[in-house]
Amino acid sequence: MSTPTTTRVALVTGGSGGIGRAAAKRLARDGFAVAVHYAGNRARAEETVAAITAAGGRALAVAGDVADETEMALAFDSVRSAFGGLDVVVNTAGVMILAPIETLDLADLDRMHRTNIRGTFVVGQQAARALRPGGALINFSTSVVRTQLPAYSAYVASKAAVEAMTLVLARELRGRDITVNAVAPGPTATPLFLQGKDEATVDRLAQAAPLERLGDPEDIAEVVAFLAGPARWVNGQVLYANGGLA
C-alpha cells in the first residue's frame, strides 16, 4: 500500500558497495528515503540499509538487473509504492574490464556494453517515466574518457555513450523540471578500481592528481548530493570529480 509522504525519495543503483553505498548513506543524511539497489549482493545491500536505518533514516533494498527493463520497472514500482514517489535516481551500477583492444575478449566487451550502455538506457527510461518535478537523474561516467589510458578502450567507449545519453535526455525532459547530469570520477578507492591492480600501479595513479591521493567514495558522494539537492541550475553536464587529474 502506498504511503503518502513529502520526504524526498532516492533510488541508488549499485548501492550495495563502493560509490553507490557512499551515495546512499550521504543522501540519507540529507533526509532522503533511500532505495538501495543491488544485482547480486543482497547481504551487502541489506548492510547499507541497516546502516541508514541505524542512523535514523528510511531505507529499503530492491533487486534487479539494470539492463532488464522488466526487472527495473518492478524495482521502480517497489520504490514508489514503499515511499510514495521518486525524486532522485543515482545510477552507479557498472562493469569495468581492462585489456588492450588487441586482446580483449569480445564477451567482456558485450558484458560491459550490456550493463554500462543498455543498463544506463533502461534506468534512464524508467527515471524519465517516474521522477517527480524537481527531480534529478545522476548517471556515472569516468575521467578516463579524457585521460584515455591504455587498456581502458572498451570501458571508455561504454562511458562515452553514457555521457551522450545524459546530454540528450536532459534536453528531452525540457519543461519537466528534472535535471540530468553525469559524474565522472577519477581514480577512487573502490573494489571496482582496485581489482587487478598491483600496489605500484595504485600508487602511481594516486600521485597523478595535484591532490596526490586517490579519491574516497565519500568524495564522489558529495558531488552526488550537490546534483541531487541544491544544483538546480546544473543540467546536461558532466562533472569531473578527480582532484584535478584532467
Q: pLDDT digit string (tens) for 200-228?
A: 888 887 888 888 888 899 999 999 999 99
pLDDT of residue 2: 41
Distance separating alpha carbons of residues 210 and 142, to the nearest angstrom? 18
pLDDT at 17: 80
Q: Dmax of the chain from CA atoms? A: 54
Q: How distant, in Å, are the alpha carbons of 5, 67, 204 from that of 155?
A: 39, 16, 20
pLDDT single digits (tens) 144-197: 999 999 999 999 999 999 999 999 999 999 999 999 999 999 988 887 677 777
Query: What pLDDT, in 10s, does the model give residues 93-144?
Result: 999 999 999 999 999 999 999 999 999 999 999 999 999 999 999 999 999 9
The predicted structure's pLDDT at residue 227: 98
Among candidate residues 76, 119, 93, the one with its CA nearest the CA of residue 15: 93
Q: What percent of the chain has pLDDT over 70?
A: 97
Please list the active-site residues.
Answer: 155
Domain chopping of the chain, boundaries: 9-187+217-241
Pick the CATH number of 9-187+217-241 from 3.90.330.10, 3.40.50.1820, 3.40.980.10, 3.40.50.720: 3.40.50.720
Tell me what the mean pLDDT of segment 10-23 comes to: 94
pLDDT digits (tens, 9 = 90+) for 154-166: 999 999 999 999 9
pLDDT band at 1 (very low <50, low <70, confident <90, very high): very low
